[in-house]
Chain A
Amino acid sequence: MLSKRVIACLDVRDGKLAKSVKFVDTKDIGDPVAKAREYYEDGLDELVFYDITASSDKRNIMLDVVEAVADEVFIPLSVGGGVRSVADATDLRLAGAEKINVNSAAVARPELIDECAEAIGNQNVVLSMDIQRVEVNSEQPSGYEIVINGGRTATGKDALAWAIEGERRGAGELVINSIDADGTKDGYEIALTAMIAEAVRVPIIASGGAGVPEHLHEALTQGGADAALVASMVHYGDYKVSELKQYLHDEGLKIRIC
């Protein structure tokens, strides 16, 4: 039986680690390579780097970070942020990334998902979705809307419909990131996660809002998620990765314990 995964997400800006709260006012909190190694040695299942570098001339710094991490961290490595083309995806793969996350650029041009899936395989294409709660209406019948540009721009796209389209176009995994919950530490948005998990066959990663180990348990049970993504709860030392995994294991979930 497959284990449920605990994934840590590191936001990287200009080669340095940052953690966003509700996507605004990011602040640097350290060296991404050292942090990645620390989590790896503590039993992390998978690592995601999200490049939030604003200026495009500093983009290559990210490739250096990915290479440095891939030299010493031997678990799947996923990278996203600013992936606009198959060429971007291929550069990151050659630097050592296993999986590529697409987000805003796929909303603008959905064929990006098909192209990446064709070039690097469905299983390596992750569709990352930033989602906000809205009133149920004819355009957003699920009551959830896709937002882009780090949560600043609403798109009018229904979140559930986009998840289904993403899977059909070849995304091998979906990240369900609730921007309402992000940074709150009040827990993942379980209803949203469960709704999408029931509608697709690809693995679901719950993201945004984790504050205590119980939140991960909720996402992996009621939420129907295959993996839970954590950020600030481990970045600031409130919890260790091994502690979270031990808790989930003790609660009866299938978890890899090293």
Chain B
Amino acid sequence: MTLILDYEAGNLASVRRACAHVGLQAEYCADPDQLRQAERIIFPGVGAAGSAMRSLKQRGLDEALREVIQSGTPVLGICLGMQVSLTHSEENDTPTLNVIPGQVRRFAFDRKGLKIPHMGWNEVRVLQAHPVLAGIEPGDEFYFVHSYFPQPASRDAVLAVTDYEDEFACAVGKDNYIGTQFHPEKSAQVGLRLLANFAAWDGQC
């Protein structure tokens, strides 16, 4: 069973719909024991880092997530769901799950002409081949909406990058965990391709 982590009763229908479109039937889940039984997990983002971590902790989902990631279950984090996999977020000064050592930082406000949030379509450049990123060609664009971005401590965790203020990591990963800053569920055909790749991924790189 594929589970979509629904930790804040958020609007996750678009993720579920896009999964269904590529043949991946996914159920919502807010229960840590159910999460431990999952075959694969999608962890979308809703709200802000501070409230997301509070909700995860209240439900015991933070521990369950660390466990399932440790045990080799394929996990895909999307946007805020990816950001909380790092060690710390500048958003609400929040300690996060520390699956991928590193920081989540805010884009600087002060540069002329730079709009926050980074919203729209932007190019994703794959730096490290990965089964979930297979088929992404140079020039392919994905849809982004965010004001914070991940900065892994190790370059090894950076799977793909995008240019905005400067180059930033738009896909991070480690073993059976992968997270994207962009929204595959809103990224047309290339996004669906990524979700189909994830549906077929065994968690090995």
Q: In whole angstroms, what is the CA distance A27 to B164 when docked? A: 42
Q: Which of A71, A75, A172, A227 contacts B17 (CB 8 A)?
A: A71
B164 and A75 form a contact (CB under 8 A): no
A258 and B14 form a contact (CB under 8 A): no
Across the interface, name the chain B residue whose C-beta is closest to A95.
Answer: B13
Q: Which of B47, B115, B122, B188 contacts A74 (CB 8 A)?
A: B188
- Confirm or deny: A45 has a beta carbon within 8 angstroms of a beta carbon on chain B: yes
A3 and B13 form a contact (CB under 8 A): no
- Residues of A with C-beta under 8 A to B186: 74-76, 98
B115 and A201 form a contact (CB under 8 A): yes
- Confirm or deny: B11 has a beta carbon within 8 angstroms of a beta carbon on chain A: yes
A2 and B191 form a contact (CB under 8 A): no
Query: In the complex, which range does the number of interface residues on chain B fall in?
Result: 20 to 34
A256 and B189 form a contact (CB under 8 A): no
Q: In whole angstroms, what is the CA distance A82 to B119 when docked? A: 25
- Confirm or deny: B6 has a beta carbon within 8 angstroms of a beta carbon on chain A: no
Q: How far is the CB of A36 from chain B (nearest CB, A)?
A: 13
Q: In whole angstroms, what is the CA distance A256 to B118 when docked? A: 16
Q: How far is the CB of A37 from chain B (nearest CB, A)?
A: 12
A5 and B120 form a contact (CB under 8 A): yes
- Confirm or deny: A166 has a beta carbon within 8 angstroms of a beta carbon on chain B: no
Interface string of B87-103 (1 = CB under 8 A from A): 00000000000000000
B145 and A203 form a contact (CB under 8 A): no
- Confirm or deny: A202 has a beta carbon within 8 angstroms of a beta carbon on chain B: yes
List CB contacts (< 8 Å) of A113-149 with chain B.
120-123
Q: In whole angstroms, what is the CA distance A129 to B130 when docked? A: 44
B119 and A72 form a contact (CB under 8 A): no
- Confirm or deny: A87 has a beta carbon within 8 angstroms of a beta carbon on chain B: no
Q: How far is the CB of A243 from chain B (nearest CB, A)?
A: 18
- Confirm or deny: B64 has a beta carbon within 8 angstroms of a beta carbon on chain A: no
A203 and B120 form a contact (CB under 8 A): yes
Across the interface, name the chain B residue whose C-beta is closest to A5.
Answer: B120
Q: Which of A2, A94, A123 contacts B13 (CB 8 A)?
A: A94
Q: Given A70-B14, A71-B17, A98-B14, are A2 and B122 also a contact pair (CB < 8 Å)?
A: yes
B115 and A202 form a contact (CB under 8 A): yes
Interface string of A226-256 (1 = CB under 8 A from B): 1100000000000000000000000000001
Query: In the complex, which range does the number of interface residues on chain A fall in?
Result: 20 to 34
- Confirm or deny: A40 has a beta carbon within 8 angstroms of a beta carbon on chain B: yes
- Confirm or deny: B57 has a beta carbon within 8 angstroms of a beta carbon on chain A: no
B121 and A45 form a contact (CB under 8 A): yes
A2 and B21 form a contact (CB under 8 A): no
Q: How far is the CB of B139 from chain A (nearest CB, A)?
A: 8
List CB contacts (< 8 Å) of B128-165 with chain A.
139, 141, 143, 145, 163-164
A2 and B121 form a contact (CB under 8 A): yes
Across the interface, name the chain B residue whose C-beta is closest to A204.
Answer: B115
Q: In whole angstroms, what is the CA distance A120 to B11 when docked? A: 9
List CB contacts (< 8 Å) of A92-117 with chain B.
93-94, 96, 98
Q: Which of B11, B17, B115, B191 contacts A203 (CB 8 A)?
A: B115
Q: In whole angstroms, what is the CA distance A173 to B119 when docked? A: 10
A76 and B13 form a contact (CB under 8 A): no
Q: In whole angstroms, what is the CA distance A226 to B113 when docked? A: 11
A172 and B117 form a contact (CB under 8 A): yes
- Confirm or deny: B192 has a beta carbon within 8 angstroms of a beta carbon on chain A: yes
Q: Given A1-B163, A256-B141, are A172 and B11 also a contact pair (CB < 8 Å)?
A: no
Binding site for B on A (CB under 8 A): 1-3, 5, 40, 43, 45, 70-72, 74-76, 93-94, 96, 98, 120-123, 172-173, 201-203, 226-227, 256-258
Contacts A/B (CB < 8 Å), 29 sampled: A2-B119, A2-B120, A2-B122, A3-B120, A3-B122, A3-B141, A5-B120, A45-B120, A45-B121, A70-B13, A71-B17, A71-B21, A74-B21, A74-B186, A74-B188, A74-B192, A76-B186, A96-B13, A96-B14, A98-B14, A120-B11, A122-B117, A123-B117, A172-B119, A173-B119, A201-B115, A202-B115, A257-B139, A258-B188
* Given A40-B188, A76-B186, 15 additional A-B pairs, CB 8 A: A1-B164, A3-B120, A3-B141, A43-B188, A74-B188, A74-B191, A75-B143, A94-B11, A98-B186, A120-B11, A123-B145, A172-B117, A226-B120, A227-B120, A257-B139
